[in-house]
Structure 1
Amino acid sequence: MSGDRSLSAHRDPSRSAHDAVVVGAGIVGLMTALALAEDGRGVLVLDREGPGSGTSAGNAGILAFPEILPLASPGLLGQVPRWLLDPLGPLSVRPSYALRAAPWLLRFIRASGPDAFNRILSAQATLNRLAEPAMDAAIVRAGLGNHVSEAGTLDLYDGEDAFRRADADWARKRRAGIGFEVLRGRDAIEAVQPGLAERFHAAAVYSAAGRQVREPREFTQALARHLEGRGVVIRRARVEAIRPVSAGAEIVLGDGAPSIVAPFVVLAAGAWSKQLAQTLGDRVPLESERGYNVTLPPGAFPLRRQLYFNGHGFVATPIADGVRIGGAVEIGGLDLPPNFRRSDAMLRKAQAFMPGLRAEGGRAWMGHRPSMPDTLAVIGRSRASRRIVYAFGHGHLGLTQSAATGRLVADLAAERPPAIDLSPFSPQRF
């Protein structure tokens, strides 16, 4: 049996049969459960809906290891006012939520300054360098290889000027060791992905190594089945609060269910983590970045690659032989109803950019990306107790960074030095 079991000495057998409890059964929570179980811990996972039922089911499925650039960037900031005036644009704030969103937006603006941008870029690149081998290892150990394909990634631009404006970003990626190929001219672009609109004629960037989870829900649920096979318990339950106690932490459940006490607790509840962190005295500026998509059935378009429509805020990815059109950012909290006009607007653009795309039979979806204003996830200990660790706020990179996050949390649980410096990801950094 590997790993450090020192925390298990504090277990109260009358209250819990588990060394560790993970709150959240999305991909981050389940990868964390995998790392803890492989360290020899008895793990219980709690989730209000069950494995892979939220953003881990509806995301674009991109293993986006090269995506190291912060969302808050000097170049992006210049476009924000124009986007905010368009309720269906790449970034919008619901008017009824604008006052509540203001503190997050102010921090987002501050994070776009040159010093902050470079610091965040360095931290994100460091985590993503850990993320790829960590994910590769997890895929092998959990037998998930048949859920992943090497689709390649094609970044598209509206003409030469738009491509030139991205020069600095690609230079940053090159310095970080990220490989790619610049395609020049319509013929070169069409050879990689036929059937695109004539507007994409000047230049594009292609990475043959871009990888895709074929169906995110199935990938997450297959991981859940693997965990259950090795003794991890996954239980539906609504967590209302977490409290430090001498034996570790008490998890207060809703619906009259008895509380659970465990020596070690991980909060990985995605966009719902903010309220639970507040019960521990941590005020974390986490927002729900509401993402929309439409999934089209097989035969909708002969999509070979992951397509990034730069400047338009959405992607097209090959999902389970169909096509998923998704992206955009809407700040509107957890409670407002979806505005599916946003997914309709993306689909209309996709039809213009991918002539021949058949839009019949599409399924619209909205999910809550847990996003921090500086783009970086929250990975670290609660101020209330070192036996309570946070693992949330990954924004667009939850799938990508999930296995690395699990490894880092397992290091903290075992009192091992983490594989990377976690200070940029501290829950207390704000």
Structure 2
Amino acid sequence: MSRGNVTVIGAGMVGICCASYLQRARYQVTVIDPLAPGSACSFGNAGVIAPGACLPLAMPGLWRQVPGFLLDPLGPLSIRWRDLAGSLPWLMDWLRTSSPARARQISAAMRSLHRPAFDCLEPLLRDAGAADFITRAGQLYVSSHRDTVLGSPLAVELLREAGVRTEHLGPDEVRQLEPTLAGVRSGLLFPDNGHSKNSYRVVQRLAEHFVQRGGTVVPDAVKGFDIASDDVTTVIGACGIYPAGTSVVAAGAWSDRLAGQLGTKVRMIAERGYHVTAADSGEMPNRVISHVDHRIAITPMDIGVRIGGTVEIADVDAPPNFARAKKLLEIGRAVLPGARLDNVTEWMGPRPSVPDGLPVIDRSPHLRNVIYAFGHSHYGFMGAAPTGRLVADLVSGETPFIDAKPFSLARLS
């Protein structure tokens, strides 16, 4: 017997995992998105699943790098000049989060959400017959210039305090693990990490299974809401209206606009990432390679080798700068000299990011039947299943399986 109706706005990895966990909790769930499941950021991410991911992007000393962000449009982290004025308030808040004390708080929150990533995702994949899309082959961080991959003593401390297993490797040990890599001086292996062989197909399979179990996916764009007595009564789409029991806003980089219509202002920007994926690449690494010098990830997938990452801070609707993708291809050819990187596709996707890099997973402070689940920055794929489980706990009134306080809206006020 159904416990009630829930509308999930957003059919990316986060939205579909929310819908799946709500369905498992016996809710009748409708997902609304103008795009097919997994067609936005979920389509092109690196597919990394890292239970030990606990290093904030904004680490102490970040402010020293800001001039470089403005001067190099193809650098690992760049700011599009035309969008600087609109991004400036977010950037100032972002820099404020880079104190050692705040970095430790953010790190602990990241670890709490990501630690159960496999435990929360694997039951969904097994039920959907998609467990073979995930591999636990580890993740290897490398550098061509440093003797140690982690340049910050604080980063070393945060990993140790979080209990994350790592193995330091010299160039010969890296070559034994990954003979396809060139020019590596040092490595750091995270043996407990893994990745998806095809992130898009994972979301598709989860969505297909959700529908097979009685869920509904509606291709529509949410334009507004009817509100009465502190409740959303109707979700208004471009093509129809949908009665609202509980509404979950999980619309990625467009979530702040919907939250604003619901009376909640969240400072969020698009950290735009790019990738190139080379079909028929021949040589591929055996696991995800994260090259810290270039801030890229190289992922072996069933569709070929994917080279992706970097950050471009720009308006969510700004046209892509595919010169950044071509730069990724140039780096890939240097790092993987034996791979065939000719038959490639280019892609750009907007990562939703609030200044501290943590998602918002919380009830609306204004409306009794609205839950927010967005802002996962670089970690949407790995954080999606734990987020879905936490959202189901919040909707059903169960004790949250992890502490939800670090992901509350109150921290942003």
CA contact (8 A) 1:243 1:280 kept: no
Contact kept in structure 2, 1:57 and 1:216, CA below 8 Å: yes
- Letter aligned with residue 204 of structure 1: G
| Aligned-partner SS, 1:271 | helix
Using the alignment, how far apart are the partners of 1:141 and 1:132 within structure 2? Answer: 14
Residue in structure 1 matching 2:166, options 161, 177, 180: 180
What letter matches 1:216 in structure 2?
S
Alignment of 1:58-73 (within 5 A): 58-73=44-59
2:374 aligned residue: 392
Q: How does 1:70-149 map to 2 (within 5 A)?
A: 70-149=56-135
From 310, 318, 341, the counterpart of 2:323:
341
How far apart in 2 are the matches of 1:98 and 1:290?
A: 14
Q: CA deviation at 1:164?
A: 5.9
Residues 1:284 and 2:229 aligned together: no
Paired with 2:118 and 2:278, the residues of 1 have a C-alpha distance of 29
Match of 1:28 in 2: 14
Q: Does residue 310 of the first structure (1) align with residue 292 of the second (2)?
A: yes
Equivalence map 1:268-283=2 (5 Å): 268-283=250-265
Q: Is it true that 1:358 corresponds to 2:313 in the alignment?
A: no
Matched, 1:221 2:204: yes
Contact 2:198 2:303 in 1 (8 A): no
Whether the 8 Å CA contact 2:54–2:158 is kept in 1: the answer is no
- 1:99-135: CA deviations, max 9, x gaps? 0000110010001012211111111111112333212
Which residue does 2:177 correspond to in 1?
192
Give the partner amino acid of 1:221: Q
Q: Does 1:406 align with 2:388?
A: yes
Q: Deviations over 1:344-396 (max 9, x none)?
A: 11111121122223221110000011111101000001122121000000011
Distance 1:212 1:427, change over 3 A: same
- Structure 2 equivalent of residue 163 of structure 1: 149
Q: Contact 1:80/1:91 (CA < 8 Å) preserved in 2?
A: no
- Pairing 1:236–2:222 present: no
Please state whether the residue corresponding to 2:223 is helix, strand or coil: strand
Change (3 A) 1:138 1:75: farther
Equivalenced residues, count: 412
Amino acid of the residue matched to residue 288 of structure 1? A
**Partner residue of 1:16?**
none
Could you tell me which runs of 5 or more consecutive residues in structure 1 were left unpaired when the two chains were aligned.
Answer: 9-18
CA distance in 2, matches of 1:243, 1:383: 17
Q: Deviations over 1:400-423 (max 9, x none)?
A: 011111111111111122122222
> How many angstroms apart in 2 are the aligned matches of 1:37 and 1:20?
9
Runs of 4+ with >6 A deviation = none
**2:139 and 2:191 in contact (8 A); partners too:** yes
Distance (whole Å) between structure 2 residues aligned to residue 311 and residue 420 of structure 1: 34
Shift of 1:254: 4.0
Cα 1:408–1:364 change in 2 (3 A) is same
Distance, in Å, in 2 between the alignment partners of 1:147 and 1:382 is: 35
- The alpha carbon displacement at 1:291 in A equals 0.6
Q: Provide the alpha-carbon RMSD of the alignment.
A: 1.8
Q: So what's the TM-score if we normalise by structure 2?
A: 0.95
The answer to whether the Cα contact below 8 Å between 1:66 and 1:128 also exists between their aligned partners in 2 is yes
CA contact (8 A) 1:390 1:427 kept: no
Question: Secondary structure, in 3 states, of the residue corresponding to 2:320?
Answer: coil
Contact 1:271 1:369 in 2 (8 A): yes
Structure 1 window deviating more from structure 2 (28-37 vs 167-176): it is 167-176
**What is the CA–CA distance in structure 2 between the aligned matches of 1:160 and 1:53, rounded to whole Å?**
37
CA contact (8 A) 2:279 2:344 kept: yes
Instruction: Determine whether 1:154 maps to 2:137.
Output: no
Provide the secondary structure at the position in 2 that maps to 1:165: coil
Separation of aligned partners in 2, 1:269 and 1:231 = 22
Letter in 1 for 2:191: A
| Residue pair 1:377, 1:392 contacting (<8 A) in 2 also | yes
Structure 2 distance, partners of 1:183, 1:43, is 47
More divergent stretch after superposition (317-326 vs 165-174): 165-174
Q: Is the 2:280–2:340 contact (alpha carbons within 8 Å) kept by the matching residues of 1?
A: no
| CA shift for structure 1 position 321 | 4.9
Contact conserved, 1:370 with 1:392, CA < 8 A, in 2? yes
Unaligned runs of 5+ in 2: none
1:50 Cα deviation after fit: 1.8
Cα shift readout 1:178-225 (whole Å, capped 9, x = no counterpart) = 1121112x2211001002223x13x21112332111111111000011
1:11 matched to which residue of 2?
A: none
Query: Are 1:52 and 2:35 an aligned pair?
Result: no
Q: Secondary structure at the match of 2:400?
A: coil
Aligned to 1:205: 188
SS in structure 2 of the partner of residue 429 of structure 1? helix
TM-score, structure 1 normalization: 0.91
